[in-house]
Amino acid sequence: MATAVDSFALLWRELCGSLSPYQEALALLGALCAGACGARALRALVGAARVHVGTRLPLLHLLAPPRSLAASHGAWAVVTGPTAGIGRAYARELARRGLGVVLVGRDAARLGTFAEELRGDFPVRTLEIVADFSRGPAAYGDIARALEGMDVGVLVNNVGVMPVVPGPFLTAGEEHLWELVNVNVAAAMLMTRLLLPGMLQRGRGAVVNISSGSCLRPVPYMAAYAATKAFVDSWSCALSRECSGSGVAVQTLIPFYVATRMTAPGRYLRRPWLFVPSAEEYARHAVATLGVARRTTGYWPHTLQMWFTQLMPEWLWAWLAMHINIHLWKP
């Protein structure tokens, strides 16, 4: 037995000796990988601090007072889908900051009521444009005529639709699928195509494209909706690069759950808290990132959620998405 042990010990020493150069190479490779991971984590933390903390520090504002949005971008903001949820809160935040607001939606009565509310709460001008983006190309003629010659400095592509109740892809009707394409995809592109040339000519402005946390991974039982939001994210990021150096900022907003009737499932997540803010709280944070970040959640707790999502295995994300869509979306 002792001889066998001695033989094994000798063999082990010989193996370690022969593998020594490889061990050193692997150790160096491991150190480089760990350093790269640490550098990426540090970069992410510094970037998040710059976007979510730096924009809200009073001391920095005293040293370099920020210009008003009207002065830095233009006199008017155009917001699509402005009568509820994030769109409504974002429009109010822009009006609070002194921009005139053009409200583009399909419900004339709600547009008029909201415009009157904005004029009563803030000393701003408003304009209502009735347009149904689900009609496809027919919706844009009236919009183009109404906006002709206006100094539009901010375009917020917020309008969107989502399934009333999630379900398998094949249960979605053809009409609903066309609505997803016309409203969630085409509206952002065509509104941008309409207003971006004027911004580029003036050398200032911003296009804000509102995507969703569902753009980060495939979402079973909301497959088509999540895919439209992934399109918005990809297209918006590419457009941001194309406009780099022009004076026009193109920003992608990727909110997670916000406490609105559209985005919060069923009876759950309707009460605002830290990770599910009210639309007003979300908009205050998101507008502060305008011109600071090209692609952001707009709200720091959502940034934490995005990091966690990106680290999560896709199978786990898919399982959680299916659980939420099957069980939580209940009245």
Helix H segments across 155-290?
A: 174-179, 187-202, 223-242, 279-288
Q: How far apart are CA 29 and CA 50, in angstroms?
A: 31
pLDDT digit string (tens) for 14-72?
666 665 665 656 566 766 777 766 766 666 566 566 666 655 555 444 444 566 888 89
Strand pairing category for 126-130 and 76-80: unpaired
Residues with Cβ within 8 Å of residue 319, at least 6 apart in sequence: none
Domain locations in the chain as residue ranges: 1-52, 69-328
Average pLDDT of the residues in 171-177: 94
| Active-site position among 90, 140, 221, 225 | 225
3-state SS track over 229-243? HHHHHHHHHHHHHHC
- pLDDT at res. 22: 56
- pLDDT at res. 67: 66
For 229, half-sphere exposure in the C-beta direction (CA atoms, 13 angstrom radius) is: 24
Partners of residue 130 on adjacent β-strands: 105
Residue 123, token pair as written in the block = 């000393």
- pLDDT at res. 63: 44
pLDDT digit string (tens) for 94-124?
999 999 999 999 999 999 999 999 999 999 9
**Rounded to 10 degrees, what is the CA torsion of 21, 23, 24, 26?**
120
Average pLDDT of the residues in 209-230: 96
Residues 300, 109: contact at Cβ < 8 Å? no
- pLDDT at res. 272: 86
pLDDT digit string (tens) for 177-208?
999 999 999 999 999 999 999 999 999 999 99
Residue 299 designated active-site:
no
Q: What is the DSSP string of 12-43?
A: HHHHHHHHHHHHHHHHHHHHHHHHHHHHHHHH
Count of CB atoms within 10 A of residue 275's CB?
A: 13
| Torsion 168-171-173-176 (CA) sign | negative
Residue 124, token pair as written in the block = 């701003």
- What mean pLDDT is reported for the chain? 86
Multiple choice CATH, 69-328, 3.40.50.720, 3.90.226.10, 3.40.50.10680, 3.90.930.12: 3.40.50.720
